[in-house]
Structure 1
């Protein structure tokens, strides 16, 4: 039975060559994406900025509706078609989207690293019954999961930066309801020279896809979910996180077994505790061994005494 660790954890994202959180405060944050600087609203930046003057190439000005809306105000030469960034071997396009994002989520970088560590852990447990992986390869009984051999499922995969990072460890099934996002994920694979990686790019409603995988008796070594608060599937399906997340987690639990390595769930922009989503995982995964942890994702400001800006809550199961 998976054990729930009630003490919260903190996952800290650090900057790298193509990204940095430069400053934050007064409900905003100043970031660098490659050579361009951007200002975006962030309600959790309750403190005062450290820098007296913020110079940025563009700022997202939110609308009056707290659930969305707004526009970009440009002050510098930002390529409207996007520009190329990299983290490690993964290359991808950043762009100013209508939803205030810039084409990927930098706070997920420590999550990608954590999943890679789990997939190369030498403490893997044997897979019950010798179930088949989604790509049809039989799982070895016991022993370590070897780099290049683990199968993972990325639900709400967006533009594929996390998928490409995971593809270094084996086959990945990437699912997103947005044709545009999946198309951009394929472009990012080309930029990275990873078109030959064993990735299934699927445009589908995440909940419907997971339910079909359960009926197919599929198993995965790891699952990552990064669901929105609200969304629509390719056929008009409505997604409301508080209403639909429990059933999706229940289906994901059936896609894991005692030989699987992790499930990682992130939740943004909701009035919810990480302990609540950890409790949801504890209920769904009670048939499995391992540990359930929860806490906050954050990004550290650049500089010696950089503050931590929280970005999301998470719950994760590890085995």
Structure 2
């Protein structure tokens, strides 16, 4: 049963809305074909790949022959942050072009087989991309957006395409380089995106001291990570302080704040209650729940991450 709490506990807090389940059915260059027995079979552009998926407790719908047709299978690396290796049915290029279209534009980007099982983007995030793109466009005023843990840049391109000036921060020089490759591939070199290679916590601490403010903030932190100078990030240890710093960075006319959390042993309510506490004093709407990917053909839904997102004007 889906339940919803009271609309608003007080006049100076965002109206809570939970649980919110946001689904991605896939698109031309991406589909979840099947899942089960701790694995998932996906299509990324022209390639079918198999990756571990601990939450797929059920049995696959497709026969084993369909799974054996996969072009690449990730092995080893039982944990999301652990390295593993890819096994290829035939030789494949290291990268390949992909694209995602939304009502206001198109982003092109490179898929890549990485040592930590990911391929360069998280397709379930498209529901968030569409959400904040509309918020930015409908604001009809200059906006500054901060994208922390920005990875390969798709969220930054969507926000900038909608009209925002974007500051993209990631501790990985390689990831920022990949994002700039994607920017060139999309023909978006003129978009107002500022690229920063830095530890996210140190960056926001400096921004608070400088008195800089942002109208929208996107956070997509890993469970564990390291900064360019060996700084350690642990989501359970450092997220509360990161969220408090982000609250200090919100402008007086802030539009939104979005946080996603992957591969953590926690309920979405943990992220929701932290976000609600940090945003106390603001009005608007705070939605929290899970991101889901629906199997192709309307099959089962696979939960991939937790999220909380606040918008000043509701949804």
Cα deviation digits, residues 283-316 of structure 1 (max 9, x gap): 111122212221001111111x321110000111
Q: Which of these residues, 241, 244, 255, is aligned with residue 250 of structure 1?
A: 244
Q: Which of these residues, 77, 99, 110, is aligned with residue 127 of structure 2?
A: 110
Q: What's the TM-score, normalizing by structure 1?
A: 0.88
1:59 matched to 2:73? The reply is yes
Q: Distance in 2 between matches of 1:76 and 1:2?
A: 55
Q: Distance in 2 between matches of 1:192 and 1:203?
A: 21
Partner of 1:222: 216
Q: Which of these residues, 200, 203, 211, is aligned with residue 197 of structure 2?
A: 203
Deviation, 1:187, is 0.7
* Structure 1 residues not aligned, in runs of 5+: 122-144
Q: Which of these residues, 15, 28, 32, is aligned with residue 39 of structure 2?
A: 28
8 Å Cα contact 2:80-2:116 kept in structure 1: no
Partner of 2:48: 37
Partner of 2:82: 68
Partner of 1:155: 148
* Structure 2 residues not aligned, in runs of 5+: 1-11
8 Å Cα contact 2:14-2:310 kept in structure 1: no
Q: Distance in 2 between matches of 1:105 and 1:272?
A: 20
Deviation, 1:4, is 4.8
Q: Which of these residues, 73, 78, 96, is aligned with residue 83 of structure 1?
A: 96
Q: Distance in 2 between matches of 1:274 and 1:167?
A: 28
Q: CA RMSD in A?
A: 1.5
* 3-state SS of 1:306 partner: coil
8 Å Cα contact 1:175-1:201 kept in structure 2: yes
* 3-state SS of 2:62 partner: coil
Q: What's the TM-score, normalizing by structure 2?
A: 0.89
Q: Distance in 1 between matches of 2:80 and 2:31?
A: 26
Q: Which of these residues, 234, 239, 256, is aligned with residue 240 of structure 1?
A: 234
Q: Distance in 2 between matches of 1:197 and 1:3?
A: 32
Equivalent positions of 1:267-306 (< 5 A) are 267-303=261-297, 305-306=298-299
Q: Distance in 2 between matches of 1:20 and 1:150?
A: 33
* 3-state SS of 2:143 partner: coil
Runs of 4+ in 1 over 6 A off after TM superposition: none
Q: Distance in 2 between matches of 1:117 and 1:10?
A: 19
Partner of 1:93: 110
- 1:67/1:104 CA distance change after superposition, 3 Å: closer
* 3-state SS of 1:281 partner: helix
**Whose strand proportion is higher, 1 or 2?**
2
**Number of residues paired by the alignment?**
293
